[in-house]
Amino acid sequence: MTEATEIINNYQALLPVKQQIRANELLAAAKQGRVHPQHLQRLVIGEFLTQQAEIPRYGVLIDRFRHEIPAGFFAYVATVFIAQRRLLADAVAPAVGLNVDELRHADLPHAVTQLNQAVAWVAAHAGPAEAAMELHTDFQLFCPVANELVGALRELDNVPEPALDYLENYSEQPAEMKQRLPEVVEYGLNQGEPERWVTRSAAEIPDLLSDYWHYIATG
């Protein structure tokens, strides 16, 4: 598993984690005490509508890669997102004044459409290693921002507790996901997945997340 671990570590070292935090407009607003109900609503809208593409993709990936190694990895990540989806629907959306049934049929903002199109491509075309690395990269860049947001938003008095709980659940990448990743990458390589493709979809994540956070901050 040395080759897989080396690919993961080398790519992870290049990720613009600090830049994602520094450039995050919602985090800047939170630190200045300027978070309004519209910010929280857009956060819920963005998360809920991206999950409409995010969650189904795991069924596609499990169906495409039925071996226990990739299927187990994608099934585990699916449970993480489904739990978050339930929290959004049951608690977070009502707490910020959104109707979940209406949200299910809402139009997608452009930044959400971009993310969902990328997710759909990965589900249909990526190999197991590429799909796993794209997910890992998403968590590696999203979780540090979520962690910083939790700290800043807790200082404000207009942020509902369920919204904080939701972000706190994303404050760190699940350990099981990180532990399983190398064997999925190794599996993909052993099945003939080109090494140059392993990080292909992951390379799009920084820009997609930047656009996504910009939408949440500014509409």
Q: How confident is the model at residue 149 (pLDDT cuts 50, 70, 90)?
A: very high
174-196 tens-digit pLDDT: 999 999 999 999 999 999 999 99
Q: Do 93 and 44 contact (CB within 8 A), yes or no?
A: yes
> pLDDT value at position 2?
84
Domains of the chain in start order, with CATH, are 17-218 (1.20.910.10)
> pLDDT value at position 116?
98
For the record, the structure tokens of 2 come out as 């040395």
Q: Do 190 and 129 contact (CB within 8 A), yes or no?
A: no
Give exposure, 184-201, as e/b (b: 16+ Cβ within 10 Å): bbbbbbeeebeeeebbeb
9-43 tens-digit pLDDT: 999 999 999 999 999 999 999 999 999 999 999 99
Q: Do 9 and 185 contact (CB within 8 A), yes or no?
A: no
Average pLDDT, the chain: 97
Q: pTM of whole model > 0.85?
A: yes
Q: Do 212 and 112 contact (CB within 8 A), yes or no?
A: yes
Residue 1 pLDDT > 80:
no
Q: What is the DSSP letter of 192?
A: T
